Structure 1
Amino acid sequence: MVQRLKEEALRRIEGRHEVDLEPGAVARDAGVDAQDAARHFPDQEALMSALIVGAYNAVADSAEAAAEAAIAAGADPLRRWVAIWQGVREWAVAHPEEYVMLWGRPIPGYTAPPETVEAVGRIVGAMVAVLRDARKAGELTEDRPGEAPLSDGMLQNVRALGSGPLEGLPSGVVARMFVVWTQLHGMVGFEVNNHLAAVAVDPASVFEYGAGSMGEYIGLRRRADQ
């Protein structure tokens, strides 16, 4: 009996991820005419896509604005890198539900439209610009002595990612990008889901430290005055 109760409880918890965005119902609760709503959003998927594309573009705006401000301030590549990720974090903390919508558990049965790839590409593009500039300036460590060789599977991952926005970057840097991307989004998600409050007095400083550490890990050099 206890096991059956636990299984049913888990089933209900899993059900929390089911989303009901039927436009007519949303229009009613929003106090909007259902027919007018249907002209903008003919079905649930259209409404969800609008939310997701809008959120991705908003976080990209924040990351790009942070990058531009860092460049204007004369920041070096590592400081620019940290600024971009701080832009991502600041948006996420201000919009936790939207961040979880983007980088939380996928919505069952929903496939995001191609426009989301373009928006995510803007975030990645800001980071890649830092890496390319650092490489030109001789401030990007491409190979690490003693670093573990890439497995056949990881080489496949690197080739796939390296044929896109990271094309032309060293394979070691591309491989580290997998770790950096998941690590820093993991840190943001940890804070957004309120798992950091009990252990960190100053969450922003924890993230700044993590973003800087991941910047060094990917190959950006820390200057003596930092």
Structure 2
Amino acid sequence: MAEAQQGPRARYREQTRAEIKEAALRQLADGGVAALALTRIAKDMGLSGPALYRYFASRDDLLHALIRDAYDDAASAIGAAAARSVDAAQSPRERLHALAVAYRAWAVGEPHRYLLIQGAPVPGYVAPADTLDRARAVLGPFFPVFVGGTPGAGVAPVVAQMAAWLDGDPAVGDWVAEYAADAAAGTAGAAGALAGALLAWAQLHGSVGLEAAGQFAGMGHSGGTLLDAQVAMLADAFGLE
């Protein structure tokens, strides 16, 4: 409906912006962020440099758009996996595995986009403020998985630090409650959920990031097998059934 209400000029502008982003993604896939060049994109598209800058004011402006899109797509993939696992009445352990599989599938399916948001920082680039909310949307679906867990002694220090973070920053509690209403009433549940999501992110990024960067080439294991082992150990650490 919104697209139908746009005039021809607005539709053309959005289409051209989308084509520019697709050209930029091809450059990222070929050579990483260092290969991203607006002048080459303009040449490939048959545009003049000044014409392209009417759609994106700078390289950083284009990066903003690519990073926002990547976080939104990753959050959508993980959110969809979370919804499917709830509909299937899976156990917390099974739900954690489903989310981890979705995280890996998105990352290894589009490694250049994963590395754009989770790889080495781009020199001189400062992400827009709304990037934080988008990044949190990727982790949010993990919260409900850990709410009913029983964190063991090995992860207790992390839970304690998350409890202190919740006490010192009400916005963090709002973030947890947005995805796990059951954790809103008590700090202990929220702290466990936050600690579980944090450790899931660290574990997944460790293995998935290496796989997305091609570091497992020539090694005698599957990234999926490694992921299964990590998820099982994390579920054990939080007493997930």
TM-score bin (small chain): 0.7 to 0.9
Aligned to 1:8: none
Alpha-carbon distance in 2 for matches of 1:29, 1:220: 54
CA RMSD of aligned residues (A): 2.9
C-alpha distance 185-113 of structure 1, shift in aligned 2 (>3 A): same
Aligned to 2:66: 51
Alpha-carbon distance in 2 for matches of 1:120, 1:148: 23
C-alpha distance 173-24 of structure 1, shift in aligned 2 (>3 A): same
Matched, 1:98 2:103: no
Match of 1:198 among 218, 224, 230: 218
C-alpha displacement of 1:22: 4.8
C-alpha displacement of 1:56: 0.9
Alpha-carbon distance in 2 for matches of 1:43, 1:189: 28
Match of 1:125 among 123, 126, 140: 140
Q: Given residue 159 of structure 1, which amino acid in structure 2 is its aligned partner? A: A
C-alpha displacement of 1:21: 4.0
Alpha-carbon distance in 2 for matches of 1:84, 1:71: 11
Q: Given residue 235 of structure 2, which amino acid in structure 1 is its aligned partner? A: G
Aligned to 1:214: 234
Matched, 1:182 2:202: yes
Q: Given residue 116 of structure 1, which amino acid in structure 2 is its aligned partner? A: T
Q: Given residue 221 of structure 1, which amino acid in structure 2 is its aligned partner? A: L
The correspondence of residues 139-150 of structure 1 with structure 2, limited to 5 A, is 140-142=149-151, 144=152, 146-147=153-154, 150=157
The correspondence of residues 15-94 of structure 1 with structure 2, limited to 5 A, is 19=34, 21-94=36-109
- Report if aligned partners of 1:21, 1:47 keep a CA contact under 8 Å in 2: no
Unpaired stretches in structure 2, ≥5 consecutive residues:
1-30, 178-186
Q: Given residue 150 of structure 2, which amino acid in structure 1 is its aligned partner? A: T
Q: Is the deviation greater in 59-68 or in 156-165?
A: 156-165
Alpha-carbon distance in 1 for matches of 2:59, 2:35: 8
Alpha-carbon distance in 1 for matches of 2:155, 2:96: 25
C-alpha distance 214-155 of structure 1, shift in aligned 2 (>3 A): closer
Alignment partner of 1:42: what SS?
coil
Alpha-carbon distance in 1 for matches of 2:223, 2:156: 34
- Report if aligned partners of 1:23, 1:42 keep a CA contact under 8 Å in 2: no
C-alpha displacement of 1:209: 2.5
Aligned to 2:164: 159
C-alpha displacement of 1:57: 0.9
Alignment partner of 1:40: what SS?
coil
- Report if aligned partners of 2:108, 2:212 keep a CA contact under 8 Å in 1: yes
Alpha-carbon distance in 2 for matches of 1:200, 1:66: 29
C-alpha displacement of 1:148: 7.6
- Report if aligned partners of 2:100, 2:231 keep a CA contact under 8 Å in 1: yes
C-alpha distance 91-31 of structure 1, shift in aligned 2 (>3 A): farther
Residues 98-138 of structure 1: CA deviation (Å, up to 9, x unaligned): 11111111001101112221221211210112223xx2xxx
Alpha-carbon distance in 2 for matches of 1:46, 1:123: 22
Question: TM-score, normalized by length of structure 1?
Answer: 0.73
- Report if aligned partners of 2:207, 2:223 keep a CA contact under 8 Å in 1: no
What is the number of residues matched between the two proteins?
196
Unpaired stretches in structure 1, ≥5 consecutive residues:
1-15
Aligned to 1:12: none
